[in-house]
Structure 1
């Protein structure tokens, strides 16, 4: 997320990295009523009743490790009946943060520059750390991101089932009618 994106989000809880204790800081992010309404609009939900993130942040130099859980109660609209129904979500999360490093300039080689870009992909490595922007982390943005990822993209109300309409009898073929006339039926 960009630094400007945090100010447009309905939940904004910045924390400075230098305020995080080396042995760990326990932080709770709880959305207020006005924020809950904004979150529901942002995520296109009928309502969000509660949203809370409980985190433990530990610092090692300029790097930060976040562990915690997000809990939410909300209503989603059923894709079959379009009726809102209650949903409870609990999402554990672990993230690493590091200062945002400037992009490395492309190495110049002795070979002729042919405009090609080499990309190295390492499959069995952990994800890179999230960037620390302007010396801080927006725990509100983290909470919203993981809530959005936890939502069922095709929510179905318990017991709701899509009933396929019964197949209609195909109309009688004109040749079948001629065949009956020929037989004298």
Structure 2
């Protein structure tokens, strides 16, 4: 199997964790025209008119807390009429980041060493923090991820109504045709 590199994201704004102040550091990003075109292609949108995000990053040791809002204006294609129509979104965001740690699965006791790995799933717990990769957080990647999650998967233009087609008459069966011919003769 060959390992192919993923294409670069159309929006990338890496921020070094060292640059984040303990009391909080504001960050703002706005997509440039060529980035908006790439985002539209990546998310299969007819166009992206604007994309901006305002974040407050605060640090506690090696952990980082992100709070902010993503605002976007774009066009989506209606699943009923196939016409593009304008959409605006405002997505609030709260995330925690922590240094990337290699996860080591727990192994069974040595008496039962069959080489199997136990995986423990804990319900009703907070999500684990997002990884800090190479001492940086890519705010562009975070913005794209949460914009993509906020998109309506089945967008419908306001006022568009799906009208079910009228049912067609089923074709006459060959036996019914024979019975009609017998009756007519």
TM-score of the superposed pair, with normalisation by structure 2: 0.88
The yes-or-no answer on 1:58 pairing with 2:58 is yes
- Quote the offset at 1:113 in angstroms: 1.5
* CA distance, structure 2, for counterparts of residue 105 and residue 150 of structure 1: 33
The yes-or-no answer on 1:39 pairing with 2:43 is no
| Counterpart in the other structure of 1:83 | 83
| Counterpart in the other structure of 1:114 | 114
Q: How does 1:149-168 map to 2 (within 5 A)?
A: 149-168=149-168
- Quote the offset at 1:85 in angstroms: 0.3
* CA distance, structure 1, for counterparts of residue 70 and residue 31 of structure 2: 11
| Counterpart in the other structure of 1:147 | 147
| Counterpart in the other structure of 2:102 | 102
**2:22–2:60 contact (8 Å) kept in structure 1:** yes
- Quote the offset at 1:87 in angstroms: 0.4
With 72-81 and 103-112 compared, the bigger mean Cα shift is at 103-112
- Quote the offset at 1:114 in angstroms: 1.1
With 169-178 and 52-61 compared, the bigger mean Cα shift is at 169-178
* CA distance, structure 1, for counterparts of residue 181 and residue 104 of structure 2: 82
- Quote the offset at 1:172 in angstroms: 4.9
* CA distance, structure 1, for counterparts of residue 150 and residue 135 of structure 2: 28
* CA distance, structure 1, for counterparts of residue 85 and residue 30 of structure 2: 22
**2:14–2:138 contact (8 Å) kept in structure 1:** yes
Superposition RMSD on alpha carbons, in Å?
Answer: 2.3
| Counterpart in the other structure of 1:131 | 131
Higher relative contact order (CA 8 A, sep 6+): 1
Runs of 4+ in structure 1 deviating by more than 3 angstroms, as ranges, are 105-109, 170-182
* CA distance, structure 1, for counterparts of residue 50 and residue 95 of structure 2: 23
Tell me, which stretches of 5 or more residues in structure 1 are unaligned? Answer: none
Q: Deviations over 1:2-59 (max 9, x none)?
A: xx86x80111101000110111011111101111111111111100000011101110
Tell me, which stretches of 5 or more residues in structure 2 are unaligned? Answer: none
- Quote the offset at 1:109 in angstroms: 3.4
- Quote the offset at 1:126 in angstroms: 0.2
* CA distance, structure 1, for counterparts of residue 129 and residue 57 of structure 2: 14
- Quote the offset at 1:106 in angstroms: 4.6
